[in-house]
Chain A
Amino acid sequence: MEKVIKFTKYRKFAYMLSALLLVSFIAITYMRGGLVWGIDFLGGAKVTVRFAKDVSMTDIKNTLSENEINASVQKVGDEDRNEYLIYSKLLDRPVYDFMGSEFSGTYSAEDLVKSIVDDKYDVAPPVETEGGLNSVKWLNDLLVNPNFYKSWITVKGMKLEGDMAASVAEIEKLSDFSTNLASAEKLIKLNRSILEKTYPDKTPKSEVNNGSSDRTHALIWRIVSFKFSGAEELAVETVGPSIGDYLRKSALKLGLMAMIMMTIYLAFRFEFKFSVGAMAALLHDVALSFFLCGVLGLEIDVPVIAALLTIFGYSVNDTIVVFDRIRENMAVKHSVKFSHVVDMAISQTLSRTILTSATTLFSVLAILVFGGDTIRSFAIVLLFGITIGTFSSIFVASPIVLAYEKYIKKNKEVY
């Protein structure tokens, strides 16, 4: 006689464990500030940069935050290579049009700043164009703009009050326009407020590229290439906000459609109660894996969605092996209680359930260790999802079928 473990007896314990896990996952997620959606969903820019010299992650982060850009920095590639992934959500501060335009000038930024401050704006001295000068392109671009001088001079000559006067005073104090984009940007903002004064009713708000992905990239790259000479862009990804919305909707819609199809198939090949069990287990696995991202602070991007969708398919695959055995046992043993049939089926297929998960976990581990940085989050989510899927195949799916069966029977007795 084969050994039958009474899995269904522990089902309340298993439900509690699952519920506890889910609740604590959600709680931790919200304590950590909610789910982190990647730029694939929110829109933004992702730049992979190879630096010429040794730099540290904090160096890059600090440079960007000095310029009021809150970007994430991640080391990628081999240890000995200075390659970093820098990514930022769409910057919601306006990035002015001059940022995008290309310019090759022959002025040094420092000289020009000096000439503005000294009021000698018409005699900007030309300097040699060298490699390093390339990095101050954006500043030149700003400074040679005649409109800019004009407003700066006007500002200095105007009797200003309140905020404007304060910002002029603040800007006057800043000496290094050349290395700090934020202070240069303050100048532009001022320039714009002057323009807005000139055209009071017609502030050109809509035409300013407010946080477009292209500009976000331009801004990051300008600052990075400016501060770290010899930096090289290896890859760029920019995503507008509309794309993410579309992706999220289509993932949800298709996920739902897949669930309906699977429900119908299972109801057709087995019985409806098995559909209920399988779908419950599926939602259990996907929900837990989803909130695992929140717990670990993993960014939800396209690979993570792919992992969640895989768990989607895999969870059911695993569960059906048990269901199939229940179906087989039911056909043979009519007299036995349903809960015993379920226990027997789970026990008989236990080695199968564990072995199939084990082989799959081997390959996921290989992806995790050797697959590179881009699909690491994919592997982490999958690793957890498959493990939890194995648990749910044993402790969630079949007990739910049993519970549903009991519920139906009870209702029948009443009516």
Chain B
Amino acid sequence: MKSKILVRLFVILAICSLCAVFLLPTFGERTLKVSMKKGVSSEQIDNLKHRFSGKEIVSSSDSEIVFRGYGITDAKMNEVRSLPFIEDAVFSKHWAEKYFLAKKINLGLDLQGGMSLVLEADYARMEEKAKRKFTDADKKAAVEQALEKISGRINQFGVSETSVRMKGVDSIEIQLPGVKDPKMVKATIGTTGRVEYRIVNDEFSAQAVAKLKEKNIEIPKLDAEQKLLLADLSKEINIPADMELLFLFDRDRITNEIIPVTPLALVKEVSLEGGDIAKASVGTDSMGRYTVDFSLHAEGAKKFAEVTSKKNIGKRLAIIIDNMIKSAPTIQTQISDGRANITGNFTFDEANLLTKVINEGALPVDLKIAEERTVGPSLGQDSIDAGMRALMVGACAVILFMLIYYKGAGVIADFCLIINMMILLALLSMMGFTITLPGIAGLILTIGMAVDANVIIYERIKEELRHGKTPRAAVDAGFDRAFWTIFDSNITTLLAALILTRIGSGPIKGFAVTLSVGIISSMIAALFVSKMIFHIIVNSKKNMKSLSI
């Protein structure tokens, strides 16, 4: 008998300590390594240290400070990362992560700050090109390809723990925790990245320019109006079917904006396209302006040599990106070494962006932003604080209530509640779960519902005691009879919760997962752990007369 009790105690302790180890990466002491940019001032360092007041400084040098302490969250890390003088901030792996394969519970974007985008595919252009309506399979294939490219582009930002995934048939969901420059991200994602080289027809170009002059109107700024104007001009100069008009864009000296400057007539045949480019990189020309330099594949090089051969010398070659002519240099000699460049009056950032996008290749389908959520890291930290406060208060209220109402048995219920929470959080961390604010609400709710099972059992035991049973018999009967009650009621709720995890909204999904896992863990805690403890107590004293319940 004694040995059986010892075994049970051991099992409970083992579960507790295992869960505790799994929770260490999330709630334990964490070490954050902050590396700073060169030339950081002492004021800035003080500013940084001030943000971590109360935390231990493990090491400190001109370029790197390591902080250690409790309560350093991912939101804090992202906040530090977004400071202008900070190069990067990373957490060192916790020993529990290294040796016990424990994982930390990821924080959702609403808690740690970051950006979430939903992109919707627009098949109009593709369908026009293919001259047919797309089937669902076509659409899916196109979006899947786009997803791969987008992932590649996003990796360039060096943000860790990003997620890019399909949402439905024609949407892509992107999550970027702690992103520094949301505008840049949107610009990069929004570019289709189509690059084309096409020959300019000078005769019709000149006609178009003359016509524009004759009309005496400025080139409009709206995209739609530009298209209208081009359509008008094309009609008026009777452009042949194998040519079309596009605008050459340049940077306005005063406003610094990229604006259309003149229309050019281009042949529709594409001489060279993005797929022919092996690698793009940022370079500078003889005047120190930034350029995008290409090296071409063998086949691309052959094509390029052909285009720049004798028959075309003296003609202009337009470089078109996303339907905008970036430049149109005159072909002077044949280029056969497979190298080329674009000069488009770029800033470094623009040239760099274009390089990245070209290297990844064009998107197979146009995407537009359907939904955007951006949360600053400081707001995220506020939400963490609010959520944790509510969690603590809720837990304390429930624990106190159980103690007052059930006395001795309340201690067991509270103990079970704590074990339940540990199991729940450990399960969530093992699942690699991402917790959001509604998820925390789900946790708090689970606390309230977890003791329900204990209440059902205790009320039943009380009833059996009232019927005159001995404590031991009452406990046995209570657990036996309550088992199916708890089982049925929880399974029904679990059914509902599990179905809701399939819902299309991230926050609700997170909430439903927390609730589902919470139901399972509270069943384990009430039906097995508390039963074990009761048995230990009831069996420890022979002929127990009364039960504190």
- Interfacial residues, chain A to chain B (CB-CB below 8 A): 40, 48, 77, 96-98, 101-106, 144-147, 150, 195, 198-199, 202, 204, 206-208, 213-214, 217, 233-240, 242-243, 246-247, 250-251, 254, 257-258, 261-262, 265-266, 269-270, 278, 302-303, 305-306, 309-310, 312-314, 316-318, 320-321, 324-325, 328, 348-349, 351-352, 355-356, 358-367, 369-372, 374-375, 378-379, 382
CB–CB B448/A361 < 8 A: yes
For residue B141, CB closer than 8 A to chain A, the reply is no
Q: Give 29 pairs: A residue, B residue, CB < 8 Å, sorted on A.
A: A48-B376, A97-B224, A98-B222, A146-B218, A204-B224, A204-B228, A234-B379, A235-B374, A235-B375, A238-B373, A240-B370, A243-B371, A250-B505, A254-B499, A262-B495, A278-B492, A320-B489, A348-B463, A349-B459, A356-B451, A359-B401, A359-B448, A360-B449, A362-B397, A363-B394, A364-B445, A366-B397, A372-B390, A382-B445
Given known contacts A324-B488, A360-B445, A370-B386, is B503 in contact with A48 (CB within 8 Å)? no
Residues in chain B near residue A317, CB distance under 8 A: 449, 452, 489-490, 492-493
Residue of A whose beta carbon sits closest to that of B186:
A214
For residue B287, CB closer than 8 A to chain A, the reply is no
The answer for the CA separation of A23 and B458 in the assembled complex, in Å, is 39
CB–CB A359/B383 < 8 A: no
Q: How far is the CB of B368 from chain A (nearest CB, A)?
A: 9
For residue B512, CB closer than 8 A to chain A, the reply is yes
Given known contacts A234-B378, A266-B492, is B370 in contact with A243 (CB within 8 Å)? yes
Residues in chain A near residue B393, CB distance under 8 A: 366, 369-370
The answer for the CA separation of A296 and B492 in the assembled complex, in Å, is 31
CB–CB A150/B217 < 8 A: yes
Q: How far is the CB of B542 from chain A (nearest CB, A)?
A: 31
Residue of B whose beta carbon sits closest to that of A126:
B254
Among B34-42, B200-208, B353-361, B436-444, the stretch that binds chain A is: B436-444
Q: How far is the CB of A85 from chain B (nearest CB, A)?
A: 10
Most chain A beta-carbon neighbours within 10 Å: one of B219, B492, B507: B492
For residue B126, CB closer than 8 A to chain A, the reply is no
Given known contacts A208-B224, A254-B503, is B456 in contact with A321 (CB within 8 Å)? yes
Q: How far is the CB of B520 from chain A (nearest CB, A)?
A: 13
- What 5 A-B pairs come out closest when comparing CB atoms? A207-B224, A366-B394, A363-B448, A372-B386, A204-B224
Residues in chain A near residue B220, CB distance under 8 A: 147, 195
* Residue from A97, A144, A265, A302 in contact with B505 in the complex, judged by beta carbons closer than 8 Å: A302
Given known contacts A238-B371, A364-B448, is B437 in contact with A374 (CB within 8 Å)? yes
Residues in chain B near residue A359, CB distance under 8 A: 398, 401-402, 448-449, 451-452, 455
Residues in chain B near residue A198, CB distance under 8 A: 217
**Chain B positions 209 through 226: 1 when the CB is less than 8 Å from some CB of chain A, otherwise 0:** 000000001111111110
The answer for the CA separation of A207 and B229 in the assembled complex, in Å, is 14
Residue of A whose beta carbon sits closest to that of B481:
A328
Q: How far is the CB of A254 from chain B (nearest CB, A)?
A: 5
Most chain A beta-carbon neighbours within 10 Å: one of B183, B222, B402, B484: B222
Residues in chain B near residue A214, CB distance under 8 A: 369, 372
CB–CB B371/A324 < 8 A: no
Residues in chain A near residue B120, CB distance under 8 A: 240, 242
Residues in chain A near residue B269, CB distance under 8 A: none
For residue B99, CB closer than 8 A to chain A, the reply is no
Residue of B whose beta carbon sits closest to that of A249:
B504
Given known contacts A247-B505, A351-B459, is B488 in contact with A320 (CB within 8 Å)? yes
* Residue from B231, B370, B452, B496 in contact with A242 in the complex, judged by beta carbons closer than 8 Å: B370
The answer for the CA separation of A370 and B385 in the assembled complex, in Å, is 9
Tell me the total A-B contact number using a CB cutoff of 8 A. Answer: 264
Residue of A whose beta carbon sits closest to that of B460:
A352
CB–CB B256/A362 < 8 A: no
Given known contacts A359-B398, A370-B390, A374-B383, is B504 in contact with A250 (CB within 8 Å)? yes
CB–CB B489/A254 < 8 A: no
Residues in chain B near residue A313, CB distance under 8 A: 492-493, 496-497, 500, 515
The answer for the CA separation of A186 and B495 in the assembled complex, in Å, is 56
Q: How far is the CB of A197 from chain B (nearest CB, A)?
A: 12
Residues in chain A near residue B389, CB distance under 8 A: 370
We find that the number of chain B residues with CB closer than 8 angstroms to chain A is 85
Given known contacts A204-B222, A321-B485, A369-B390, is B449 in contact with A362 (CB within 8 Å)? no
CB–CB B371/A316 < 8 A: no
Q: How far is the CB of B345 from chain A (nearest CB, A)?
A: 16
13 further A-B contacts with Cβ under 8 Å, apart from A77-B382, A144-B254, are: A147-B219, A147-B220, A238-B371, A239-B371, A240-B120, A247-B504, A261-B496, A309-B500, A321-B456, A324-B488, A352-B459, A358-B401, A366-B393
Residues in chain B near residue A372, CB distance under 8 A: 382-383, 386-387, 390, 437
CB–CB B496/A371 < 8 A: no
CB–CB B499/A324 < 8 A: no
The answer for the CA separation of A320 and B488 in the assembled complex, in Å, is 7
Q: How far is the CB of A189 from chain B (nearest CB, A)?
A: 13
For residue B502, CB closer than 8 A to chain A, the reply is yes
CB–CB B376/A316 < 8 A: no
Residues in chain A near residue B225, CB distance under 8 A: 195, 204
The answer for the CA separation of A159 and B383 in the assembled complex, in Å, is 60
* Residue from A77, A98, A236, A265 in contact with B495 in the complex, judged by beta carbons closer than 8 Å: A265
CB–CB A258/B373 < 8 A: no
Q: How far is the CB of B4 from chain A (nearest CB, A)?
A: 31
Contact residues, B390-414 vs A (CB, 8 A):
390-391, 393-395, 397-398, 401-402, 405
Residues in chain B near residue A106, CB distance under 8 A: 254
Given known contacts A208-B224, A243-B371, A375-B441, is B383 in contact with A305 (CB within 8 Å)? no
CB–CB A316/B493 < 8 A: yes
The answer for the CA separation of A370 and B390 in the assembled complex, in Å, is 5
Given known contacts A254-B500, A257-B499, A359-B398, is B372 in contact with A371 (CB within 8 Å)? no
The answer for the CA separation of A50 and B512 in the assembled complex, in Å, is 32
* Residue from A40, A246, A314, A363 in contact with B398 in the complex, judged by beta carbons closer than 8 Å: A363
CB–CB A356/B500 < 8 A: no
Residues in chain A near residue B507, CB distance under 8 A: 302-303, 306
CB–CB A103/B257 < 8 A: yes
Residues in chain B near residue A206, CB distance under 8 A: 224
Given known contacts A204-B224, A242-B120, A356-B452, is B397 in contact with A363 (CB within 8 Å)? yes
Residues in chain B near residue A213, CB distance under 8 A: 370-372
The answer for the CA separation of A147 and B216 in the assembled complex, in Å, is 11
Residue of A whose beta carbon sits closest to that of B384:
A372
For residue B447, CB closer than 8 A to chain A, the reply is yes
CB–CB A355/B374 < 8 A: no
Residue of B whose beta carbon sits closest to that of A97:
B222
For residue B255, CB closer than 8 A to chain A, the reply is yes
Residues in chain A near residue B394, CB distance under 8 A: 362-363, 365-367
Q: How far is the CB of B173 from chain A (nearest CB, A)?
A: 11
Residue of A whose beta carbon sits closest to that of B456:
A352
The answer for the CA separation of A261 and B491 in the assembled complex, in Å, is 11
Q: How far is the CB of A83 from chain B (nearest CB, A)?
A: 8
Residues in chain A near residue B536, CB distance under 8 A: none
Residue of B whose beta carbon sits closest to that of A236:
B374
* Residue from B168, B382, B441, B502 in contact with A254 in the complex, judged by beta carbons closer than 8 Å: B502
For residue B110, CB closer than 8 A to chain A, the reply is yes
The answer for the CA separation of A97 and B220 in the assembled complex, in Å, is 11
Residues in chain B near residue A262, CB distance under 8 A: 492, 495-496
Residues in chain A near residue B231, CB distance under 8 A: 202
Most chain A beta-carbon neighbours within 10 Å: one of B395, B437, B459, B463: B459
The answer for the CA separation of A265 and B495 in the assembled complex, in Å, is 9
The answer for the CA separation of A324 and B416 in the assembled complex, in Å, is 24
CB–CB B441/A356 < 8 A: no
The answer for the CA separation of A309 and B498 in the assembled complex, in Å, is 11
Contact residues, B507-549 vs A (CB, 8 A):
507-508, 511-512, 515
Residues in chain B near residue A150, CB distance under 8 A: 217-218
The answer for the CA separation of A246 and B227 in the assembled complex, in Å, is 33
Residues in chain B near residue A314, CB distance under 8 A: 449, 493
For residue B232, CB closer than 8 A to chain A, the reply is yes
The answer for the CA separation of A236 and B369 in the assembled complex, in Å, is 14
